[in-house]
Amino acid sequence: MQGFLQILNKGVRHRAAAMGFVLFMTSTVAQAGWFSSASSPDNVNPITAEQVKKVLEQNPQYVYDALVAYQKQQAEVKQLDIQKYLTTHARKLFYSKNDGVIGNPQGKTSLLILNDYRCGYCSKARLIIDDVIKNNDDVRVVIKQLPILGPESKYAAKAATLAQQKNKFDQFDAKLGALTKPITTEKVNTALKQTGLREQDLTANTDALDAVIRENYVHAQNLAVQGTPVLIIANSNLTKVEFIENVLDQKAIESRIKSFQS
């Protein structure tokens, strides 16, 4: 996923540079009067490479200003695309049968956390979310697996997904969370056994479980996610869906919940 985002960012920078140059040249040409207002080709003064080079050397700030303006424009467009994706795919994001749910399953306000069991910040965020649940009995919390920290992360994510499919996510999540960090394959297998599941069950369903994780990666890419944890909040009818910026600020999270419930 990180490689995809790097490619995406690189592409945006290249397009920005190209557009910035075009904007710069359009402005410069107009100011310099190199093109006649007459429509006849005979009245057009050709632009030479030397002229372009000279203007660039004498006015480098034009290029910079154009690039900054274009990058800002692209960032705004990207934000609109992300918000559109959130709204369009809200039901898939918040009500997938493959995602674990804690808190009140019937809660009117939903929190979605993109989680990696080997992520230290995710562990801290989960502790905060647990406290949020204790203080807010009308909140439904969705745990969507986004393993980005290696094979052990993916193995844990697949095990959690299997547990959810077997209606045992709560038990597995609690057992795995109680084990010492970092999470390893052996510890995941221990949590599976303690939950009444078997390693063989995971192996037998590995292709289907991989497909679920790949779908989560697609969601992450379209949401421009660059790491975990990520927290998203939605109202009951999914007409209002937004990111919560600081996932480690319990007061800020509870404040947002209240605003969505009012």
Say how far apart CA 212 and CA 188 lie, in whole Å: 18
Dump pLDDT digits (tens) for 233-255.
Answer: 999 999 999 999 999 999 999 99
Say how far apart CA 256 and CA 240 lie, in whole Å: 12
Q: Are residues 124 and 252 in the same domain?
A: yes
- Total domains, the chain: 2
Dump pLDDT digits (tens) for 200-215.
Answer: 999 999 999 999 999 9
Residue 198 pLDDT more than 80? yes
Residue 42 has what pLDDT? 54
Say how far apart CA 228 and CA 247 lie, in whole Å: 10
CATH of the domain at 121: 3.40.30.10
Residue 43 has what pLDDT? 54
Mean pLDDT of the chain: 86
What percentage of residues in the chain have a pLDDT greater than 90? 69
Residue 47 has what pLDDT? 79
Q: In what order do the strands lie in the sheet with 139-145?
A: 100-103, 139-145, 109-115, 230-234, 241-244
What percentage of residues in the chain have a pLDDT greater than 70? 83
Q: Are residues 199 and 96 in the same domain?
A: yes
Q: Are residues 110 and 39 in the same domain?
A: no
Say how far apart CA 248 and CA 47 lie, in whole Å: 57
Average pLDDT (69-96) is 92
Q: Are residues 126 and 84 in the same domain?
A: no
Q: Are residues 145 and 223 in the same domain?
A: yes
Is pTM beyond 0.85? Reply is no
- In sequence order, the 6+-apart residues with CB closer than 8 A to the CB of 42 are none
Q: Which of 38, 73, 88 delimits the end of a domain? A: 88
Say how far apart CA 33 and CA 51 lie, in whole Å: 13
Dump pLDDT digits (tens) for 124-180.
Answer: 999 999 999 999 999 999 999 999 999 999 999 999 999 999 999 999 999 999 999
Q: Which of 38-47, 72-81, 108-117, 210-219 is predicted least confidently?
A: 38-47
Encoded amino acid at 150, one letter: G
Residue 176 has what pLDDT? 97
Is residue 191 packed enough to be buried (19+ CB in 10 Å), middle (13-18) or exposed (0-12)? buried
Q: Are residues 78 and 100 in the same domain?
A: no
Q: Are residues 98 and 206 in the same domain?
A: yes
Residue 44 has what pLDDT? 53
Nearest in space to 164 (alpha carbons), one of 143, 137, 180, 188: 143
Q: Which domain holds residue 65?
A: 2-88
DSSP assigned state of 41: G
Q: Are residues 22 and 125 in the same domain?
A: no
Q: Are residues 118 and 161 in the same domain?
A: yes
Residue 111 pLDDT more than 90? yes
Q: Are residues 235 and 117 in the same domain?
A: yes
Q: Are residues 51 and 128 in the same domain?
A: no
Q: Which of 88, 113, 136 delimits the end of a domain? A: 88
Q: Are residues 65 and 176 in the same domain?
A: no
Q: Which of 54, 88, 122 delimits the end of a domain? A: 88
Per-residue pLDDT band at 104 (split at 50, 70, 90): very high
Dump pLDDT digits (tens) for 1-41.
Answer: 444 334 334 444 555 454 445 544 544 444 444 444 444 45
